[in-house]
Amino acid sequence: MAILYNRISSEELKQRMLQETEPRTTISFYYYFFINDPKEFRDYLYINLDKLSVFGRIYVANEGINAQISVPTHNLEAFKTFLYSIEPLNELRLNIAVDDDGKSFWVLKIKVREKVVADGIDDPTFSMENKGRYVNAKQMNKLLEEKDTVVIDMRNHYEYEVGHFVNALEIPSDTFREQLPMAVDMMQDKKDKNIIMYCTGGIRCEKASAYMLHNGFKNVFHLEGGIINYAQQIKKEGLESKFIGKNFVFDNRLGERITEDIIAKCHQCGQPADSHTNCKNDGCHLLFIQCERCTSAYDGCCTDECQTIYNLPQEEQKKLREGIDKGNMVFNKAKSRLRPRLNEE
């Protein structure tokens, strides 16, 4: 009987990955298509990807697939052959990471979800078949220069904070499901404009574009392959980057540098910085921006309190952590407080 789940501790697997000398390629991809039996499809993926030593995080639902993975570079062609053997995914565009050290993931996790992107949409007449028009990097740059263009960032604040397109509008909300109706409301007086939506890899902005069309908008576009694909295209074609700063990514790297611009600030001292990190206190693990000086001064922790706990003996730390459910914490500078947040993409 095939093993359909990992049985080795995450920490051991992480150490194995860090010791690997063979190069890996980090890839993301998604596709909206109907999957009749997500559980069966999930198991089929796991069996075949595990054979290829693929690591990463994949979500499967009736509406499609969303994946962020790393593949041993020597298995890249075999991976493509397998993926493209699945008829709806044949010749699917793969987003290859821009700033990649191959250390993005260390375990394969494939989960069945109600939706591959939590959207809060309960309207049975909504369909992903009617979505906005794709734009590539060259078209994106051209549209951004036109006065009748509005560009909307469909990511969270902590993503927007370290990098975004010039003049992009941020939807000030905590989750994608909140952003969708807010975007509709904010754009009510701009229905005659060209509305371009973008996100990290394309999956959120594609759904957002369909939602805008569903709500009566006409000239809706979305960036094909998101920021990741845009960065690859401008590099290949020698185009000017209209995206400035870093692209936040949902893996161990926490960011891909697109331009040298540093547009964010350290959350502790306020100096220019755009490196996200997780607080070293295992009872916290807050995601926040920290400069090198504060990393040294606070031992990689977010507060004096966490630093004190971090430097206690392990047994004392474990006692303090008992009963704490920290979830996935992110410093939301827009609201100046800490709150639990879930990965969106």
- H-assigned helices in 252-340: 292-297, 304-310, 314-321
Nearest residue to 196 via CA among 175, 217, 173: 217
Q: Which domains does the chain have, with CATH numbers?
A: 10-112 (3.30.70.100), 133-237 (3.40.250.10), 276-340 (no CATH)
What pLDDT score does 7 carry?
A: 65
Token duo for residue 99: 């700033």
67 neighbors 45 (Cβ within 8 angstroms): no
Which residues are marked as active site?
199
Question: Where do the DSSP E strands lie in 177-249?
Answer: 194-198, 220-223, 243-247
Nearest residue to 168 via CA among 159, 160, 179, 178: 160
The total of other beta-carbon atoms located within 10 Å of residue 226's CB is 26
What pLDDT score does 320 carry?
A: 84
* Each residue's pLDDT expressed in tens, for the chain with a length of 345 residues: 455 666 666 666 666 666 666 889 999 999 999 999 999 999 999 999 999 999 999 999 999 999 999 999 999 999 999 999 999 999 999 998 877 676 778 789 999 999 999 899 989 999 898 999 999 999 999 999 998 899 999 999 999 999 999 999 999 887 899 999 999 999 999 988 999 999 999 999 999 999 999 999 999 999 999 999 999 999 999 999 999 999 998 777 888 999 999 999 999 999 999 999 999 998 889 999 999 999 999 999 999 999 999 999 998 888 888 766 555 565 554 444 333 333 344
What pLDDT score does 104 carry?
A: 77
Dihedral of alpha carbons 122, 209, 45, 89, sign: positive
Nearest residue to 340 via CA among 266, 283, 268, 287: 287
For the sheet with 337-340, list strands across it. Answer: 276-278, 287-289, 329-332, 337-340
This prediction's pTM:
0.81
307 neighbors 296 (Cβ within 8 angstroms): no
What pLDDT score does 207 carry?
A: 95
**Beta strands 220-223 and 194-198, pairing class:** parallel
What pLDDT score does 333 carry?
A: 45
